[in-house]
Amino acid sequence: MLDIIISIFLILGAGFALVGSIGLLRLPDFYTRLHGPTKATTLGLGALLIASMIYFSSRGEVSLHELLVTLFLFMTAPVSAHLLAKAALHLRIRSEVDLPKDEQSKP
């Protein structure tokens, strides 16, 4: 029973990571490409870490140090995505639609 739950979480997580990477490869411009990895891949890694937590907790003592990796990633993924978007706006990377004005790079 526990094996089935762990397997479902494993396949779900790996599938989400793959979907995020396909999005990174296929979407048309940088600002849409930013969506795929920063959401889908982080969610996939969260599911994999839940599976690992269940697996190691089922073998005896409760194992919670996967929570550290999960918390750290869920805190840092939005920060790095925000920094990347700011850098792309600063460099005026090509976009499919008109970009908003960059307030910081005024002379």
| Residue 99 C-beta: closest distance to another protein, Å | 13
DSSP codes joined into one string, the chain: -HHHHHHHHHHHHHHHHHHHHHHHHHSSSHHHHTHIIIIIIHHHHHHHHHHHHHHHHTTSS---THHHHHHHHHHHHHHHHHHHHHHHHHHT---SSPPPP-STT--
Question: Of the two residues 18 and 99, which places its CB atom closer to another protein in the complex?
Answer: 18
Decide if residue 87 touches another protein (CB under 8 A): yes
Work out how close the CB of 53 gets to another protein at its nearest, in angstroms, rounded to a whole number. Answer: 10
- The answer to the question of residue 57 lying near another protein (CB under 8 A) is no
* Size, binding site for another protein by CB under 8 A: 51
Task: Determine, following the binding rule CB under 8 A, whether residue 99 of this chain makes contact with another protein.
Answer: no
Taking the complex as a whole, the smallest distance from the CB of residue 64 to another protein amounts, in Å, to 11
